[in-house]
Structure 1
Amino acid sequence: MQIFPVSIEGESERYFVVNVTKVVDCIDEARCQEVQHYPEGTFPEYEGEYRWIYGLRIAPSKTEGAHVFRLMKFKTAFIVSEDIKTALERIGNLGVSFERVTGPHEPL
């Protein structure tokens, strides 16, 4: 993970940009609610990747013990462990939201 300090003109607070470089292949496609692939031949550069995943679920046993990572074939998602989530929540309003990606889906 890379953390870059940034300053914003007119703001006295410090801000940081986070870049996650670790990529893990741990999507549990069978437990996801809906998986969308790119239609064949539409975007060759994204061949084999996911267009979108609803109700994302990962296999924790395949995370290699990582606490912060992106998903192979679906780099939109930024995954953090429960420990990291708790620490971030203690900091306060960061402009992020969290969605559980392990365990059963909550009833609608």
Structure 2
Amino acid sequence: MPLGTEDEVFDTWRFHEGRALDIKEPICLSVKPAGVALEFSHSMGIPIVNRRVVSLFERLGIEEEVQFVPVEVEGQSEPWFILNALQVIRCIDDARCEEVLYWRPEDGEPERVGEYRNVAGMKIDPTKVGDASIFRPWGWLVVLIVSERVKLAMEQEGITGIKFIEV
């Protein structure tokens, strides 16, 4: 659970907006249960990575597409970072997804009508992605998408904790 100053829960949704953030307060992460540290993990839907992932992204020349926000991880002395993807791309291919549900007026959330309520078996339209290496899909921001080049590099590097699903 990410915590800011005064042990207040940190607003993690800020990391789904696709923009660089000016973080002033320190972010601390507790680890429950304790175990082996993975180089790529998630906390409340936000990617948490170690220095090897940062170095890999720098070698790939894609550090402009992400912001690495330092965090303190309970029980860890090495540096850790929140990986904040800086792009949101409207690319979900509704027709090819297994199921797409939208918010409707009768759902009781009028401000969300027409937005995605659920996306199962997500597929994207690669023609809308361009040369992006890492991004979140517009309308379904809980997902982080990487290019095939980034996927292969992470696998070749042996980054622990990653799981890829073709979209």
- 1:61 and 2:127 aligned: yes
1:27 is aligned to 2:92: yes
Question: In the alignment, which residue of structure 1 is the partner of 2:79?
Answer: 14
Give the Cα separation in 2 of the matches to 1:91 and 1:9: 24
Match of 1:85 in 2: 151
> Per-residue displacement from partner, 1:14-54 (whole Å, max 9, x unpaired)?
22111112111111111111111123252233332211111
The 8 Å contact of residues 6 and 14 in structure 1, kept in 2 or not, is answered as yes
Q: Residues 67-97 of structure 1: CA distance to partner in whole angstroms, max 9, x if unpaired?
A: 1111111111111101111222324213x42
**Runs (4+) off by over 6 Å:** none
The equivalent residue for 1:52 is 118
Give the helix-richer structure, 1 or 2.
Answer: 2
- Write the distance in 1 (CA, Å) between the matches of 2:130 and 2:88: 10
Can you give the 5+ residue segments of structure 2 that lack an aligned partner in the other structure? Answer: 1-65
Aligned to 1:5: 70
Structure 1 residue runs of 5 or longer lacking an equivalent are 102-108
Whether the 8 Å contact between 1:67 and 1:84 is mirrored in structure 2 is yes
**Aligned equivalents of 2:128, 2:81: Cα separation in 1:** 29
Amino acid paired to 1:72: W
User: Which residue does 1:105 correspond to in 2?
Assistant: none
Among all aligned residue pairs of Structure 1 and Structure 2, give the percentage whose two residues are the same amino acid. Answer: 40
Equivalent AA in structure 2 for residue 92 of structure 1 = I
TM-score (norm 2): 0.54
Deviation digits for residues 52-72 of structure 1 (CA, Å, limit 9, x no counterpart): 111111010111211111111
Larger CA Rg, structure 1 vs 2: 2
For the pair 1:75 / 2:153, whether they are aligned, the reply is: no
